Structure 1
């Protein structure tokens, strides 16, 4: 690990405020501990208010130069960053795995998402299209164009400590914005590594370092970002409670937001499903990243006609799970992020036992021999009634609720009858069922899948959800429009000035 940290110029004690490669230090610190083995990784100083004001000032200066470059020129900078990520994919993926606790394969996969969104953004830099419209007035032309917003603030969560930041920055950069990143205080070290790599690209191209800035700290530092009038857009990923606070702060000043909040995702297994595929999707969706994805499968709805067969196969699959260090690629499941998450896991299981339920797989805390970390758990699976209030809540842990259903309409109702609306899935080989699920009468989520699970998303599609998930969209499709301001233009190329409603002036 020391070798990897030195690769990104990370020491035992690090500044937490960065304007490109310029470091600003302070006295108060965040200490990052690995959930893998409980060991200290490094310290990062907390951003002060004066440092934050300096970041805003330097970002504003940098944005003036950055926005004057053409979009393809900005795309070239993002291309260079993507190439640097390719070079350091394994090192950064290992650091992600060690600081966050996800498997090394997932850590490398997260860096691959960064590379992919850079590639997407490079192509996008030549496709920031507007529309041309016919005017109702003769010898007039109408069109719309898109301009940079200015400064984009990004608040990211611990579970995807680098990928979601890149979804935002890659698009925001090619759109002509500069970015200020507040990473989760649980995973600050990976942020420093990403910043170090991008500062190299800026330096090599003689560009202002304020194009990319990092600030670190707790809720107070985040509030400086959300309440600052110079920050034109806040893109925030986290809990619904956090999103409510962020949304309110930004709305007070009529700023823009992209909110990616809670998920409580259901996977429906039809009587006409390919059961082998459905089992694989269920297990991966429920235990991948130790249940700490916003798209993790939290609810499993199984048709009564195949219920016993499916549950038997599910038990067998869970019995084969290997839990341990995520750096060992033979293991399926690593730790939860910290002991607080383990306590929430245990508290939720205790609440389940107070309700009507059946234990399918017992969830519990476990110890890994020779490991000082107390963050490992065995995933739990519990059959519950469809109206159990616990199924309405998102718990960021590998707990899966199983509910039996009779008809597809009933399953869709159960799926939609929660406050969140991020991801959903139906396994079926029946065309009518799949089309019905994707119709307006079906899933109310921002993501609806057929014969693939709830977790994971390709960068080519817009990512986000409805209801308490926030309604924001990131990554692919036309999500880039969220990082720009729309302007409608009308050009009169005649010698006349026709006025509305035929009004005339004797001039």
Structure 2
């Protein structure tokens, strides 16, 4: 690492402005998925530690909510600048614990930091309203106020960006945070905490509780059931999201869920096939397919199906280099953990047993470990588990369709509704399909759809709430209506 690497490489959790071990004294290891080697150890915290963090956040909220927006903006701006200065070291740390190629880690650092920069500005634009008075004796104003302490539960696939797009919006709104990063990637979150401390954020405003998978459920439950926590923002699986949804019911708290996807990627016969292939490469193989907006079902019109599959397979074989993300030239890292490998292998095996054809790949990579070959499957039908389940791996399912109506019906035939993509050069078709797709996000002739300026979120069982854009503030504020009576105009 560079000169600042030691400053951000932390092995303790961060609560109330202090670097702490678990009250139990227990720790758990963090390993590199590319080689299985231990990077370090961090505190294995539990419910008791979490309640300590919640109490700290509650106390700090008393002051933080009253800090002028311009001052909150300055804190966030300073945090952003320090992250930018440490970007190379954060990226290397992320690759070591997550496995993604260094080039992707660098892109995530820039992307994640962008949310802090964005919400540093949005902090100054949380406007209220003055409504026309209903009579000559009254005035009405509406204020937007921070909701309070928020629990942030984040995944391993984007360990920085998934945290910053929540925390930056919450802090900008005047909320305080208790974050629980995924057990696979706690070091990136702790690096962010170290830089938040250096930026001067007051103690208790931003807290990071680390734990192994063993204590994940009790920490999540503690955050959901605490009367001192006003809101929960969670990114992760639909199954876990449903559990958190139930646990939040008792305190009727604010909830934002960004859950699993099953993204369709449609290629119509008017599309530029090479550009469509580029779109799949971008949307499917980033982070080895381990993204919630990864194209899961590639639906191709039958008149161009064979041409597309051939072009895609050639591009994969020519462009993708599998290996340790820290090695030069590598653009496909390992899967994140053993559970992911088992899942991908199981889905591919099920598909092949039910008649799918392996065009390329289809098995564990010759490097062994958690590496899996980039794969293209055809002859896919709706009875295969991979058609209905989020793969979260480097596997392309290529499926034929005849008509636009068939494609839309197939694309919408899922309980998930996060992202959808399609390529077409028919402008009338573009408007029709974009309107009819049942997803919160649509990419038209584009494979990269995430941006700090855009509202990110889904519908159906992909969750609710939006992150990023000016809408990201909405999850952390409520509207207070104040009426002034006894006036005489």
Q: Same fold (TM over 0.5)?
A: yes
Match of 1:251 among 249, 252, 259: 249
Aligned to 1:68: 66
Q: Does 1:468 align with 2:464?
A: no
Aligned to 2:49: 51
Once the two structures are TM-superposed, the CA of residue 358 in structure 1 deviates from its matched residue by: 2.1
CA change 1:446–1:404 in 2 (3 A) is same
Matched position secondary structure for 2:20 = strand
Moved more, 248-257 or 25-34: 25-34
Aligned to 2:81: 83
Aligned to 2:152: 154
Match of 2:128 among 117, 121, 130: 130
Once the two structures are TM-superposed, the CA of residue 328 in structure 1 deviates from its matched residue by: 2.5
Moved more, 227-236 or 321-330: 321-330
Aligned to 1:266: 264
Aligned to 2:443: 449
Alignment of 1:97-136 (within 5 A): 97-136=95-134
Alignment of 1:164-179 (within 5 A): 164-179=162-177
Once the two structures are TM-superposed, the CA of residue 356 in structure 1 deviates from its matched residue by: 2.6
Matched position secondary structure for 2:125 = coil
Structure 1 residues without counterparts, runs of 5 or longer: 497-507
**Number of positions where the alignment pairs a residue of Structure 1 with one of Structure 2:** 482
TM-score of the aligned structures, taking structure 2 as reference length: 0.95
Aligned to 1:434: 430
Partners in 1 of 2:327 and 2:292 — Cα distance? 24
Would the aligned equivalents of 2:112 and 2:164 in 1 still touch at CA under 8 Å? yes
Aligned to 1:20: 17
Match of 1:197 among 185, 191, 195: 195
Aligned to 1:487: 480
Structure 2 residues without counterparts, runs of 5 or longer: none
Once the two structures are TM-superposed, the CA of residue 132 in structure 1 deviates from its matched residue by: 2.7
- Larger radius of gyration between Structure 1 and Structure 2: 1
Matched position secondary structure for 2:322 = coil
Query: RMSD of the TM alignment (CA)?
Result: 1.8
Would the aligned equivalents of 1:21 and 1:196 in 2 still touch at CA under 8 Å? no
Once the two structures are TM-superposed, the CA of residue 15 in structure 1 deviates from its matched residue by: 2.6
Matched position secondary structure for 2:353 = coil
Matched position secondary structure for 1:126 = helix
Once the two structures are TM-superposed, the CA of residue 386 in structure 1 deviates from its matched residue by: 4.2
Partners in 2 of 1:99 and 1:278 — Cα distance? 32
CA deviation string 1:243-267 (max 9, x = no partner): 0011110122101110000011111
* Structure 1 moving runs of 4+ over 4 Å: 1-5
Partners in 2 of 1:353 and 1:37 — Cα distance? 29
CA change 1:219–1:367 in 2 (3 A) is farther
Aligned to 2:470: 477
Q: Does 1:375 align with 2:362?
A: no
Aligned to 2:352: 353
Matched position secondary structure for 2:357 = strand
Match of 1:215 among 205, 209, 216: 209
Matched position secondary structure for 1:325 = coil
Moved more, 270-279 or 474-483: 474-483
Q: Does 1:417 align with 2:413?
A: yes
Partners in 1 of 2:19 and 2:64 — Cα distance? 18
Partners in 2 of 1:139 and 1:249 — Cα distance? 45
TM-score of the aligned structures, taking structure 1 as reference length: 0.91
Partners in 2 of 1:493 and 1:59 — Cα distance? 39
Would the aligned equivalents of 1:16 and 1:46 in 2 still touch at CA under 8 Å? no
Once the two structures are TM-superposed, the CA of residue 329 in structure 1 deviates from its matched residue by: 4.1
Matched position secondary structure for 1:224 = helix
